[in-house]
Amino acid sequence: MTEIQCSDVQAGDHRLRVYTAGDPKRQAVLFLHGSGPGVSAPSNWSHLLPVFAEDFYCIAPDVLGFGDSDHPDPAPVGMPAYTTLRARSALALLDALGVEKAHFVGNSMGGMITLRVAQLAPERIDRMLLMGSGGAPIPPTEDLMKLITFFQDASVDAMAELLPRFVHDQTLFAGRLEEIAADRYAKASRPDVRRSHLATFDPSVGPVKYTEAELAAIPHETLVLHGREDRMLPLEAGYYLARNLPNAQLHVLPHAGHWIQIEQANRFTALARMFFQE
């Protein structure tokens, strides 16, 4: 199976930690993970990159302000400004890697970044896959608020209480919840990670909400995937995006929460491959 390569790439003004797999001569797929304390590209994509690398050149950065990528200081205040900076950072990464055009996979916040890229530089995106994507004008759920306010009372126990909210099937953690929570908390407790999280979710600034008109102006073929039991971003968000993006199709996956790529890895892979290879 194809090995994952790790490197630091200077993408415009910022350094990104980037994980790649597959032949750079193939069609590129850029994987953008979601938000959350301690999240990184490997936590979202490490089990999938070798599989997709059989057909594609896979690029999965720690998104700017997450993991081992740069954490701007001072950081943009609020989700809208940070989303735009992160979108420009993704474009700069493609430039640095010599990739003219790529398929985009955006999970949660990564979906919002993908949509912003589609507004800023539509010619750089081939097809979009939005998975449990944010950007719909709906109020945050109780579970999402737990993520947003994590640092009000951060601890390993709080992480262990947060993580099961991302999935439908609690057995996914296979008795390793405390171990996973401790590892994730160690990453989240870094001062730069905490600073970026608090800037992203600054309460003085509202969330990213794409209007019907804004979505209607995005012409890309889009696959919207949403877990039926998603507690972070409810199924209504997927319906909103699929209804307003003119060339979108929606697949609702049963027995799945917010982490479709983990809970329904085989279905996710099959649907994505079929969509990208049409």
Tell me how far CA of residue 250 lies from CA of 52, 145, 226, in angstroms. Answer: 21, 26, 8
- Active-site residue (options: 14, 33, 226, 258): 258
pLDDT along the chain (278 residues), means of 10: 93 98 98 96 96 97 98 96 98 98 98 98 98 97 97 96 94 88 95 97 96 98 98 98 98 96 95 96
Output the pLDDT for position 154: 96
- Active-site residue (options: 43, 69, 89, 108): 108
- Half-sphere exposure (Cβ direction) of 100: Cα atoms closer than 13 Å: 2
Under 8 Å between Cβ of 52 and 199: no
Instruction: Compute the distance between CA of residue 16 and CA of residue 71 in angstroms, rounded to an integer.
Output: 10
Catalytic site includes residue 196:
no
- Other Cβ atoms closer than 10 A to 157: 12
Instruction: Compute the distance between CA of residue 66 and CA of residue 238 in angstroms, rounded to an integer.
Output: 25
Catalytic site includes residue 230:
yes
**Residue closest to 205 by CA, chosen among 54, 78, 109, 32:** 78
Output the pLDDT for position 250: 98
Cα 187 to chain center, whole Å? 17
The range of the structural domain enclosing residue 27 comes to 5-276
Q: Which H or E run includes 98?
A: none
Cis preceding-peptide flag for 74 (omega within 30 of 0): yes
Output the pLDDT for position 170: 86
Q: What is the pTM of this model?
A: 0.97
Instruction: Compute the distance between CA of residue 269 and CA of residue 131 in angstroms, rounded to an integer.
Output: 12
Q: Indicate the Cα dihedral angle 162, 226, 77, 244, nearest 10°.
A: -160
Output the pLDDT for position 174: 82
Output the pLDDT for position 256: 96
Task: Report the number of distinct structural domains present in the chain.
Answer: 1
Catalytic site includes residue 47:
no
- Active-site residue (options: 62, 68, 143, 230): 230
Q: Tell me, what CATH number does 146's domain have?
A: 3.40.50.1820
Instruction: Compute the distance between CA of residue 4 and CA of residue 23 in angstroms, rounded to an integer.
Output: 11
